[in-house]
Structure 1
Amino acid sequence: MSTLAFTGTSRQWLTRLHRWSGLFLLAFLLVAGITGGILSFRWEIDKAINPHLFSVAPHAESMSYKALADVVEQRFPEAIVSNVVIPKTSQDAAIVYIKSRMDAHAVHIHVPGMKSSVEFNQIFVNPHSGEILGQRSTTRFVPSWENFVPDIARLHLSLFLDEVGAWLMGVCAVVWFLTTFIGLVLTWPGSWRSPSSWKPLMSLRMNHGSYKLNYDLHRTINLIVLPILVVVAFTSIYLNLPGMVRPVVGTFSPLFDSAVVPSAGHMDLASPRVPVEQVIATARETLPGARVHSVGRDFLKGLYSVRMQLPDDVSPTGNNTIFVRMTDGQVVFQRKAQNASGGDVFAAWQYPLHTGSAFGLIGQCLILLGAIALLIMCVMGFNVWLRKRRSERQHSFRRQISAGEELG
C-alpha cells in the first residue's frame, strides 16, 4: 500500500467526519442515485412506457395553435394555456401546459417542486386532429404509469416535500460535495506525482476478506467516477439552492434578470391577440437558423416568449428567447446565447451537466454510470462502517471482560 498524504490525528478526524457525514447522507444518496439514474434517460423512458401520449399518426396538415389552445381551454374551462411545446416532427404530439385562469395575471416565482394550483398541468394533444391524448401533473404525486417519470422527477428534486424538500436536498448536496472531497483527501497518496503511488489505490484485495474488499471497492469506485460525482453534486447545489448560489455567481458576472424585459401591460384573457403562427415567423426572422422549441404566454406582461434552440446551444430546449408583444406582434426584447454574460453561460450549463444532456447520449450514459457507482459506493461504505462498528463493540466487550477478570 502506498504512503498516504494525511496520517495521524488529522486523518482520524477526517475519517470520522467522512464516516458520519456519509451515514447522514445515506438515504438521500440512495434516493438520488436511483432516481437520478432513471432520469438520465427520462424522455426515452417516458416515451417507451407512454407511447400513446407522445406519438401520433403523421399528417400533412396541422391545426393552428390558436385552434389547439381553444380545444384545450374548451375541454378544461377552468384553465388557460400558458405554454405550448412545438412538435419536432409530424409524428410528435404537442405538449400543452396549462394553469388556473385565476393565476393568469398572478406573479409567480418558480420554486423547484412547487405545486400547481390546477389538478394537472400537462396536456398531450394531437396537433393534426385536436384529440386530447391524455393529461398528467408534473407537480403532484399520482401513482400511475403516465405519471411515473414526473413522480420520479419530483422525488429526485424535493422528496415530494415541495419547497422544504428542495431546500433539504440542496443542503444534502452541499454536504455530499464536501464529503466527496474529504474522501479524496483520505485517499490521496504522499507521492501523488508518481503514477506508481496510485496503483495500489486502484487495486482490489480479493484474498484478504470481505471487509477489505468492501473498503477497496468503495475507494476505487470513488476515484474512477470522482469527476462525475463532483459535477453532479455541484450542479445539485445550484439547481436546488439557486437563491444562495446565484448571488455568489452574480458578484463575478452579471446574470439575466427577467425584470429587464419590458412589460406591454396586463393582457385581458378575452382580448384579441396576434396569432402564434405570426409570432413564430417573427421569431424565426429575428434568429435565423434556430428551431422553435416552445411558445409561452405571459398575460401579466402581455408578451409571448418564444424559446429557440441553435445548433450550438447547450440546453436541449435552447438558450435563446424572443419576447413578442401580444397586441401587435412586435419584438420587444431578445435574449440570445451569443450575447450572454459569463454568469449566464455558467448558469445555462448547470442543468445540461446535471442530466448529461450537454453531451448527448455519451453524457447520459456517464450520468447513469455515476448513479450506479454511487449506489454501489453507498452499499460498500455502509458495510464497511457496520463491520467496523461490530469489530469495535467486540473489542470493547473483550476489554471489559479482561478488566473484570483482573479485578476478580
Structure 2
Amino acid sequence: MGYKKPIKNKHTFKYWIGRLHLWLGLLSGLFVVFLGITGCILAFEREIEDATQPYRFTETQSKPLLAPTQLKAIADKALPNKKAHSVTYQPGRTTQVVYYHDSPTYYYIVFVNQYTGEVLKVKNMDEDFFRVVIMGHYYLWLPPQIGQPILTTATMMFVFLLISGLILWWPKSKAARKQRFTVKLKSKWRRLNYDLHNVLGFYIAFIAIFIGLTGMIMGFQWFAKSVYWASSGGKSMNLFEETYSDTTYSAKLQLNAAAADQLWAKSLKEDPSFQGSIDVHIPEDTKGAIEIAKNPDPNTYWKADYRYFDQHTLKKIEVKHVFGRFKNTSTADKIIRMNYDIHIGAIAGLPGKILAFIASLIAASLPITGLVIWIGRKKKKSNPSKQPKTQIN
C-alpha cells in the first residue's frame, strides 16, 4: 500500500463514509468484540459436548425401543412437577426428554436409555456453560425484549462497518491493490496493526456479512419479514403459531398421550432405514396437537419435516407457517429455515464451522485494531510537531 496525504475534502463520498465508519465503530465496538468472542465459543458447541459428555451416547441395539410415553413417564419420576416438551430419538444417541416452559421458566433435559429406561443424566440447562454463553450472545443476559434489540442493533452497525470498510479499503490502482492483500509481518507495530485491521477485515468481510445478516433475521422481525418478502416475490411471511387439536367433538375429552406412541410407531414403519432424528411432542393438555419432526441431517435444522396431528382423531393438521412439511417449502421458506445453520456455519459442515470460527475471531479483533488506529491519529493531531509529512490513507 502506498502512502499519500489524507483526504480532507468534506464533500467527498469517502470522507463521510469514513466518518460513519469511525463513529459507528466506536458505538458498537464493545458489543462486536463480545459477540465475536461468544460466537467463537459457540462455534463447536456440539463437538465439545459430544467429546466431554459420554451420557449422550447409547449404542444401537437389536432390542425394541421404548415408546415416547414410556420414556416420558420415567423422566417424569426423575424430574417431578415439570411438564415434558418433547422426546428425541436418534440412532447411536441417548434419548432426550426435554422439559421447557416459559411460565414458570425452566429448561431441563433428562437423558434416558431408550432400551432399558435407565436415567443417565438429569441436566439443568440454565446451569449449562454453553446455555449461559448463548443467553449472553442472544440477549446480553438481560430480558430478551431489552438485550436482543441492543445486540441486533450493534450487529446491524457491524454489517455497515464491513461494507463501508470495503469501500474505504478498495485501492485505486493495481499497484496499490497488490500491497493491500498481504499483512507485512516485519513492519513496525503501528503498520502491522493497520494491516491486521484492513487486510484481515477484507478476507473475512463476506463471511462476516452473512453471519451479521442472519443474526439480524433472528433479532429483528421486520428484517426477517423483509428478507422473506424479497425472496418470495412479494409474499408475506406467516409467523409460527401453536397448533391445536379439535376439542369440540366430545364433551368428555381426556389427554390422549397414547396417540403420540401410535404416530411415532407409524413414522418408524414409513421408513425403517431412517437414520436421522425424530422428535415427538406430546401435548400438555387436551387441546394441544401432537408434533412429529423428522430430521434427516441432525447436524443441521433446515431439512426437518414437521407434521402436526389432532391428538383425538389422529387427523393431520395443515399449517401455513414455514415450519411445516419440507416438501411443501418454497425458496423463501428454505432461506428462513437455513438461517440458523448459515449463522453458525453448519450449512457447510465442519469446514463451514471452522470458517465461522475464524471470521468471528477476526471480527472480535477489528474494533480493537480500529481503536488503536484512531488513538494513533488523535495523538498525531494533538502533537503536530511530531506528525510526519505523509501518513497512511
The two structures share one fold, judged by TM-score above 0.5: yes
Pairing 1:166-245 to 2, within 5 Å after superposition:
166-191=148-173, 196-206=175-185, 208-241=187-220, 243-245=221-223
Three-state SS of the structure 2 residue aligned to 1:84 is strand
Task: Choose which of 371, 379, 382 in structure 2 pairs with 1:382.
Answer: 371
Find the aligned partners of 2:59 and 2:277 in 1 and give their Cα distance.
22
Contact 2:225 / 2:236 at 8 angstroms: preserved in 1? no
Q: Which residue of 2 aligns with 1:69?
A: 72
Find the aligned partners of 2:103 and 2:167 in 1 and give their Cα distance.
44
Q: Which residue of 2 aligns with 1:40?
A: 43
Structure 1 residue 333, shift from structure 2 partner: 2.8
Find the aligned partners of 2:188 and 2:115 in 1 and give their Cα distance.
65
Find the aligned partners of 2:240 and 2:118 in 1 and give their Cα distance.
35
Q: Which residue of 2 aligns with 1:327?
A: 312
Structure 1 residue 262, shift from structure 2 partner: 6.2
Contact 1:97 / 1:123 at 8 angstroms: preserved in 2? yes
**Residue 132 (structure 1) aligned with residue 134 (structure 2):** no
Q: What is the total number of aligned residue pairs between the two structures? A: 369
Report the more deviating stretch, 297-306 or 43-52: 297-306
Contact 2:69 / 2:258 at 8 angstroms: preserved in 1? no
Amino acid of the structure 2 residue aligned with 1:132: V
Contact 1:263 / 1:302 at 8 angstroms: preserved in 2? yes
Find the aligned partners of 1:382 and 1:394 in 2 and give their Cα distance.
18
Find the aligned partners of 2:271 and 2:60 in 1 and give their Cα distance.
28
CA RMSD of aligned residues (A): 3.2
Contact 2:210 / 2:343 at 8 angstroms: preserved in 1? yes
Three-state SS of the structure 1 residue aligned to 2:116 is coil
Amino acid of the structure 1 residue aligned with 2:201: N
TM normalised by structure 1 equals 0.79
Contact 2:289 / 2:309 at 8 angstroms: preserved in 1? yes
Amino acid of the structure 2 residue aligned with 1:211: R
Task: Choose which of 346, 360, 365 in structure 2 pairs with 1:371.
Answer: 360
Q: Which residue of 1 aligns with 2:138?
A: 157
Q: Which residue of 1 aligns with 2:391?
A: none
Distance 1:120-1:259 versus aligned 2 partners, 3 A rule? closer
Amino acid of the structure 2 residue aligned with 1:121: Y
Distance 1:297-1:249 versus aligned 2 partners, 3 A rule? farther
Amino acid of the structure 2 residue aligned with 1:323: Y
Report the more deviating stretch, 205-214 or 33-42: 205-214
Structure 1 residue 220, shift from structure 2 partner: 0.3
Amino acid of the structure 1 residue aligned with 2:20: L
Q: Which residue of 2 aligns with 1:402?
A: none
Amino acid of the structure 2 residue aligned with 1:373: I
Report the more deviating stretch, 332-341 or 39-48: 332-341
Amino acid of the structure 2 residue aligned with 1:352: D
Amino acid of the structure 2 residue aligned with 1:319: A
Contact 2:295 / 2:301 at 8 angstroms: preserved in 1? yes
Q: Which residue of 1 aligns with 2:25?
A: 22
Distance 1:327-1:384 versus aligned 2 partners, 3 A rule? same
TM normalised by structure 2 equals 0.82
**Residue 340 (structure 1) aligned with residue 329 (structure 2):** yes
Distance 1:211-1:117 versus aligned 2 partners, 3 A rule? same
Contact 1:21 / 1:175 at 8 angstroms: preserved in 2? yes
Three-state SS of the structure 2 residue aligned to 1:184 is helix
Find the aligned partners of 1:123 and 1:329 in 2 and give their Cα distance.
27
Q: Which residue of 1 aligns with 2:266?
A: 282
**Residue 349 (structure 1) aligned with residue 323 (structure 2):** no
Q: Any stretches of 5+ residues in structure 2 without a counterpart? A: 388-393
Q: Any stretches of 5+ residues in structure 1 without a counterpart? A: 101-114, 399-408
Task: Choose which of 282, 294, 303 in structure 2 pairs with 1:308.
Answer: 294
Deviation string 1:138-188 (CA, Å, 9 cap, x unpaired) is 4x4x3xxxx111111111111111311122111111111111111111112
Contact 1:79 / 1:118 at 8 angstroms: preserved in 2? no
Three-state SS of the structure 2 residue aligned to 1:202 is coil
Q: Which residue of 2 aligns with 1:117?
A: 104
Find the aligned partners of 1:40 and 1:355 in 2 and give their Cα distance.
6
Distance 1:33-1:218 versus aligned 2 partners, 3 A rule? same
Contact 2:243 / 2:288 at 8 angstroms: preserved in 1? no
Deviation string 1:232-263 (CA, Å, 9 cap, x unpaired) is 0101101122x222332343234344459564
Task: Choose which of 242, 257, 266 in structure 2 pairs with 1:273.
Answer: 257
Amino acid of the structure 2 residue aligned with 1:36: G
Deviation string 1:284-333 (CA, Å, 9 cap, x unpaired) is 5678976443112344643111112246x994463320112212433233
Report the more deviating stretch, 367-376 or 275-284: 275-284
Deviation string 1:250-277 (CA, Å, 9 cap, x unpaired) is 4323434445956434999962333434
Q: Which residue of 1 aligns with 2:57?
A: 55
Contact 1:137 / 1:150 at 8 angstroms: preserved in 2? no
Find the aligned partners of 1:129 and 1:306 in 2 and give their Cα distance.
23
Find the aligned partners of 2:312 and 2:114 in 1 and give their Cα distance.
25
Kindly, what percent of the aligned residue pairs are identical? 20
Q: Which residue of 2 aligns with 1:83?
A: 86
Structure 1 residue 36, shift from structure 2 partner: 0.8
